Structure 1
């Protein structure tokens, strides 16, 4: 049985590991990826911008691991076409790879808005190991950077560039930071802490008009005419699933490749998982659900029972070394009210309760001494 995995990220390799557990079948596993590095922990790529770690430091399974497990790993290969009827992929060097079962796990690309100047030198998006190396090499000769996007990845990228010695400005279209995770007051609290603790500069409720420079970026101009000097610009403005090579096929696609709870597509023997897959209208774009989707796909591909039941985001993390938590229900409704538990210089905590008084959600910024008990009660 020939298993072909298109993509070497967490979804693809999680599937590979499940397939590889089956020892009573004649199994041939091939992984094809345009990445040049073997499987690594993508969430830590951001730390490479500070120089504290390198891409090599976050590799989980190196080439030797794939060789030891008799898995063919083909890196630096771009897939250019798929023939679902005759069951094979074509790569940019005109090689054909046949399969009995195929997993599409080719991930996503960074979304870059159509702004004048995005093609100048010094303008980047961080998506893979090669990006991280190139950006850090540029950072070493820079003084001022602008990060466009004030979400989790944007703030962490800014923090790591500050650690590398740069003066960093974050531009965000929303009127507060982490719009998906925090309310206005919590976002404002986080902004204040980041300014005072780490020297962040912010422009909120701001759009970028254009990026200017002579071959290399020199400044970012906002919609209101404000000009920010910069010799590096980093976009952190979301992702686009990599569906290009299958968009003219019979595969069902909305924003991503549509899958059911077994990661099956509408084409027999073809599965999808990770950032390229859309389950129940959701493209999660984060590590944990991609790993689980990959595991489910791998099990189903070898005939085991498994299903993906969705993923409820729960953020409990450090944002630029500041504790940030958002869990459960994060807005008021007819059945849900909220109360402000703490709001001082160092901490913000808002708790959400339903009509029966049961805790259903919370937002925390800073150090909250009752955090563990609160989270435990919400999760129960």
Structure 2
């Protein structure tokens, strides 16, 4: 009898778990349950879609027909309400009970909306799903001024998308630089210069504390006392893992569902992967990590021994007419040294980080062509002498 494997969530982790299982279709029956009404798509493109007329080619990872051809039972627009780990079953919002032999939880997280006066007004958004993007695009048609709260990857990409539609855009970030989780102060300031040159304003080390308007957004007020007109506000300040159904089922959770490197949870036969998990005290909000975790969870769900190894982390973003590539360790710490280069045009920036004379990371802005070589050099822990000669 085939193993019944149920996957909850169809983001990167869920999709790649399903694809991996489909390659071993003779061993299992696959059910994929997702709250959204769409098949799996490339979620990092959502922020770019704000500035585009149509969804790009290959936005959807596979057409719906592929799931049927692969023997995957697809349950879209369906929410899992509870898990019974003793009976090995889940219950959906339609009242259906689905039994499993192995369960893979990959239902991700939800956008965090910090408590802010006026956040309930029309024109205040977060961006996590395709429907969110459609709602934002519809609202933008009647807007002139946008404030994006959050200067991380999604925030700056969304700001650029909005700017391309003709909006007057401001990015607000509580840190002293953009992309503060990835960039050092000097590279963050370099990127800030690029953003400003493209006509987007940046407010740093300040926080929006109030959103005002009679029925819809009209302005925002900062902690410093500064006010700014706005008719659309986008919060982009991170996500929080969706832990409710796991906690209620008695599955160990901390900041995420606690898993080991085989993606096993504390419950027998239950695996978890992607944004919803915590591994060795860390969360992983990266598409590549989610993809790998989904594959690992699937392999272990059918009895194949596999472990997750995060390797060299890389972050890539393209917006404001430039590229930002962050590889491995990007911030200085005790025992590290750096080599920084910047071209005369002010369009390219490169910072290399070394520890014990070995290359452990780097930042490249404005030179996407250098990314593959740097990735290879970091993976091989190239010696600092190779770079000091140049």
Question: What band does the TM-score fall into relative to the shorter chain?
Answer: over 0.9
How does 1:227-246 map onto structure 2 within 5 Å?
227-246=227-246
> Do the aligned partners of 2:194 and 2:320 also contact (CA within 8 Å) in 1?
no
- Residue 320 of structure 2 is aligned to residue 320 of structure 1: yes
Distance 1:218 1:283 in 2: 36
- Residue 2 of structure 2 is aligned to residue 8 of structure 1: no
Determine helix, strand or coil for the equivalent of 1:214.
coil
How does 1:101-120 map onto structure 2 within 5 Å?
101-120=102-121
Question: Is the deviation greater in 246-255 or in 234-243?
Answer: 246-255
Structure 1 pair 5–159 and aligned structure 2 pair: CA distance change class (3 A): same
> Do the aligned partners of 1:145 and 1:233 also contact (CA within 8 Å) in 2?
yes
Structure 1 pair 250–47 and aligned structure 2 pair: CA distance change class (3 A): same
Distance 1:371 1:314 in 2: 10
- Residue 203 of structure 2 is aligned to residue 203 of structure 1: yes
What's the offset of the Cα at 1:316?
3.9
- Residue 76 of structure 2 is aligned to residue 39 of structure 1: no
Structure 1 pair 221–85 and aligned structure 2 pair: CA distance change class (3 A): same
Aligned to 2:387: none
Distance 1:24 1:42 in 2: 30
Distance 2:354 2:10 in 1: 42
Distance 2:223 2:72 in 1: 51
> Do the aligned partners of 1:147 and 1:158 also contact (CA within 8 Å) in 2?
yes
Determine helix, strand or coil for the equivalent of 2:290.
helix
> Do the aligned partners of 2:262 and 2:308 also contact (CA within 8 Å) in 1?
yes
Distance 1:251 1:51 in 2: 41
Structure 1 pair 255–55 and aligned structure 2 pair: CA distance change class (3 A): farther
What's the offset of the Cα at 1:361?
2.3
Structure 1 pair 7–233 and aligned structure 2 pair: CA distance change class (3 A): same
Q: What CA deviation, in whole Å up to 9, does each residue of 1:337-375 have, x standing for no partner?
A: 1233336532332322234x3322222323498666554
Distance 1:116 1:302 in 2: 49
Distance 1:79 1:223 in 2: 40
Distance 1:11 1:353 in 2: 32
Aligned to 1:339: 339
How does 1:152-191 map onto structure 2 within 5 Å?
152-191=153-192
What's the offset of the Cα at 1:2?
1.3
The Cα RMSD (Å) is: 1.9
Distance 1:234 1:205 in 2: 18
Aligned to 1:94: 95
Distance 2:138 2:251 in 1: 40
Aligned to 2:386: none
What's the offset of the Cα at 1:246?
2.1
- Residue 298 of structure 2 is aligned to residue 298 of structure 1: yes
Distance 1:60 1:24 in 2: 23
How does 1:231-380 map onto structure 2 within 5 Å?
231-342=231-342, 344=344, 345-355=346-356, 357-367=357-367, 373-380=373-380
Distance 1:150 1:265 in 2: 33
Distance 1:62 1:349 in 2: 40
Structure 1 pair 343–210 and aligned structure 2 pair: CA distance change class (3 A): farther
| 5+ residue gaps, structure 1 | none
Question: Is the deviation greater in 132-141 or in 326-335?
Answer: 326-335
> Do the aligned partners of 1:47 and 1:53 also contact (CA within 8 Å) in 2?
no
What's the offset of the Cα at 1:245?
1.7
Deviating beyond 4 angstroms after TM superposition, the runs of 4 or more aligned structure 1 residues are 368-375
Q: What CA deviation, in whole Å up to 9, does each residue of 1:46-78 have, x standing for no partner?
A: 122113333886112222111222211111111
Determine helix, strand or coil for the equivalent of 2:203.
strand
| 5+ residue gaps, structure 2 | 381-390
Determine helix, strand or coil for the equivalent of 1:85.
coil
Distance 2:371 2:252 in 1: 43
> Do the aligned partners of 2:8 and 2:107 also contact (CA within 8 Å) in 1?
yes
Structure 1 pair 56–106 and aligned structure 2 pair: CA distance change class (3 A): farther
Structure 1 pair 70–319 and aligned structure 2 pair: CA distance change class (3 A): same
